[in-house]
């Protein structure tokens, strides 16, 4: 299974795309998270969309992760969440 992420602007136009790495660090970070987190809502088989408020919550959750635990794909996710939060866009997770 793999998760892809599309970064959309306010008009839902595509601004960027990235996929999980071979180690599945995005899958692990999202799908195995506690059920009290926003990232727990990402489904490995379905599509999930976060709006700018949910992206902000994701950023708050990511602040709890030590910097040395950030893989390149988690850095991409953090950057995408910042973009979405500041530009009122969307994070579109696509499960496979």
Q: What is the pLDDT of residue 96?
A: 83
Q: What is the pLDDT of residue 1?
A: 61
Range of the domain at 87: 3-95
Look at the chain and report how many structural domains it folds into. 1
Please tell me the pTM assigned to this model.
0.94
Q: Taking a C-beta distance cutoff of 8 angstroms, is the pair 70, 25 a contact?
A: no
Q: What is the pLDDT of residue 84?
A: 98
pLDDT digit string (tens) for 11-62?
A: 999 999 999 999 999 999 998 899 999 999 999 999 999 999 999 999 999 9
Q: Taking a C-beta distance cutoff of 8 angstroms, is the pair 51, 27 a contact?
A: no
CATH of the domain at 48: 3.40.1760
* Confidence category of residue 2, pLDDT binned at 50, 70, 90: confident
């Amino acid at each position: 299974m793999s998760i892809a992420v599309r970064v959309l602007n306010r008009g839902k136009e595509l601004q960027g795309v990235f996929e999980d790495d071979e180690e599945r660090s995005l899958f692990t970070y999202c799908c195995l998270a506690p059920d009290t987190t926003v990232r727990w809502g990402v489904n490995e088989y379905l599509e999930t969309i976060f709006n700018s408020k949910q992206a902000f919550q994701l950023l708050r959750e990511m602040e709890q992760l030590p910097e040395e635990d950030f893989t390149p794909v988690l850095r991409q996710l953090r950057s995408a969440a910042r973009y979405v939060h500041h530009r009122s866009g969307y994070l579109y997770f696509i499960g496979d």
